[in-house]
Homo-oligomer: A and B are copies of this chain.
Amino acid sequence: MVLVNENFLNLQNSYLFSEIARKTREFIALHPEVTVIKLGIGDATRPLPLSVIQAFHHGVDELADQKTFHGYGPEQGYAFLRDLIVENEYRARGIDIDPDEIFISDGSKCDTGNILDIFGKNIVAISDPSYPVYVDTNVMAGNAGIATDNGQYADIVYLPCNQSNNFCPAIPNFHVDLIYLCSPNNPTGAILNKVEMKNWVDYALREKAIILFDAAYERFIVEDDIPHSIFEIPGALKVAIEFRSFSKTAGFTGTRCAFTVVPKSLNAYDSKQNVIPIHPLWNRRHCTKFNGVSYLVQKAAAAIYTDIGKNEVENIIKYYQKNAEIIRKGLKQAGLEFFGGINSPYIWVKAPQGQSSWELFDLFLEKLNIVGTPGSGFGPNGEGFFRLTAFGSIENTQEAMKRIQNYNFGLEK
């Protein structure tokens, strides 16, 4: 008889965002008269930049003509896009990355999940709270062990991120193999500065570990001296894989394009301690289980790097940053304690009266008609927090803050 991957049976609950969607759907069905404002999922709401739209139309016309039709492209992505990424995202910051080290994909969610294909059984360290995909894919891959009572897994090393450490994971004083870091952080909005990143890189070099660095929110960094790429840190090309995305940069959440940087100087090991370069493994995985991103989407993504495109993207980011500012001001006026929202589209709100995250979710949904994301959905250390995002419209964000300010949380203002 055919056997399932029993690791799947260890998965707890359903995927966080599906659960939120279900609760929201049910509430709206019961209260059709109410205007629910969604500040939950980190989903773009601004239309695509005009330069991207034009590139799309142009690409569509190419596919309408036999002479310019495009069938299968290179699995790793078209050179025109890989070159632009290298030039604009890396060489412009003094980082020496080769276009061959860039793998275009249909999403960082996919990449952060699929990357485990090439790794064996390792000790995995994950920030807590964190993007649920890191934990869930490790459960599927058999790295997590059994679920414990608090919703964690026995074999995962959790790196607590809480108020006492300013939401920055501390370097463990023991060995781990694979480390997930995300900066600017989803969900807390915290960032890792140069010193903190250097400490992690040094740890990985020392421990022969690999850092899986999720920089999907890099474009939101405004403060100086915050690394935009882990490869700004000396030695990182030997110990890190970086995940980047056009989703939050240019509103590609529904359009689907991302990229992953796998340096050729990155090595891991086999069980006999032989050095195994990672790049050929990921290249083989990518070419065998993936067939490239839609030509049109790659064309459109390339438009982001034109002068006009860059300017348009900057304006989109500014729009969301303005929302983050509105949220920060609004929460402050309401007397709520919160973190993040400066170099990040995420604002991490502390439950005002010690409520649980889901209690706060229900309160926000039912009393304020605002959808946020329960912090506990990102891990036990997220308990008692609630994530708001700056991805709404300015009008909705302002209206949400009005509702929050008018609500009596039982606090002195």
Chain A residues close to B by CB (< 8 Å): 1-6, 8-9, 11, 14-15, 18, 41, 43-48, 50, 53, 56-57, 60-61, 63-66, 69-73, 106-107, 109-110, 113-114, 117-122, 132-133, 136-137, 140, 177-178, 207-210, 251, 253-256, 268-271, 273, 276, 278, 281, 284-285, 287-297, 393
Are B296 and A56 in contact, CB atoms less than 8 angstroms apart? yes
> What residues of chain B lie closer than 8 Å to A44, measured between beta carbons?
69, 71
> What residues of chain B lie closer than 8 Å to A297, measured between beta carbons?
294, 296-297
Are B6 and A120 in contact, CB atoms less than 8 angstroms apart? yes
**Can you identify 26 A-B contacts, CB atoms within 8 angstroms?**
A2-B122, A2-B208, A2-B209, A3-B122, A3-B269, A3-B270, A4-B118, A5-B118, A5-B119, A9-B276, A11-B284, A14-B284, A45-B69, A47-B65, A48-B63, A48-B64, A63-B255, A72-B254, A107-B291, A113-B289, A114-B289, A117-B140, A254-B294, A255-B295, A294-B297, A296-B296
Q: Which of B5, B45, B207 contacts A120 (CB 8 A)?
A: B5
> What residues of chain B lie closer than 8 Å to A270, measured between beta carbons?
3-4, 6, 9
- Whole-angstrom CA separation of A50 from B65 in the bound complex: 10
> What residues of chain B lie closer than 8 Å to A109, measured between beta carbons?
289-291
- Asked whether A288 and B66 contact (CB < 8 A) given A2-B178, A8-B281, the answer is no
* Closest CB pairs A-B (n = 3): A3-B120, A113-B289, A1-B208
Are A254 and B289 in contact, CB atoms less than 8 angstroms apart? no
Are A18 and B287 in contact, CB atoms less than 8 angstroms apart? yes
> What residues of chain B lie closer than 8 Å to A296, measured between beta carbons?
56, 255, 296-297
> What residues of chain B lie closer than 8 Å to A43, measured between beta carbons?
71-72
> What residues of chain B lie closer than 8 Å to A45, measured between beta carbons?
66, 69, 71
> What residues of chain B lie closer than 8 Å to A72, measured between beta carbons?
41, 43, 253-254
Are A4 and B278 in contact, CB atoms less than 8 angstroms apart? yes
Are B73 and A113 in contact, CB atoms less than 8 angstroms apart? no
Tell me how many chains of this kind the complex includes: 2
> What residues of chain B lie closer than 8 Å to A268, measured between beta carbons?
1-4
Are A2 and B254 in contact, CB atoms less than 8 angstroms apart? no
In angstroms, how far is the closest chain B Cβ from the Cβ of A51? Answer: 11
> What residues of chain B lie closer than 8 Å to A253, measured between beta carbons?
71-72
- Asked whether A289 and B1 contact (CB < 8 A) given A6-B270, A48-B64, A254-B63, the answer is no
- Asked whether A119 and B4 contact (CB < 8 A) given A57-B60, A251-B71, the answer is yes
The closest CB in chain B to the CB of A132 belongs to B288
Are B63 and A60 in contact, CB atoms less than 8 angstroms apart? no
Q: Which of B5, B53, B120 contacts A60 (CB 8 A)?
A: B53
Most buried by B among A1, A133, A255, A278: A1
- Asked whether A291 and B110 contact (CB < 8 A) given A4-B276, A43-B71, A47-B64, the answer is yes
The closest CB in chain B to the CB of A282 belongs to B8
In angstroms, how far is the closest chain B Cβ from the Cβ of A289? Answer: 4
Are A4 and B120 in contact, CB atoms less than 8 angstroms apart? yes
- Whole-angstrom CA separation of A256 from B73 in the bound complex: 10
Q: Which of B46, B66, B114, B117 contacts A393 (CB 8 A)?
A: B66
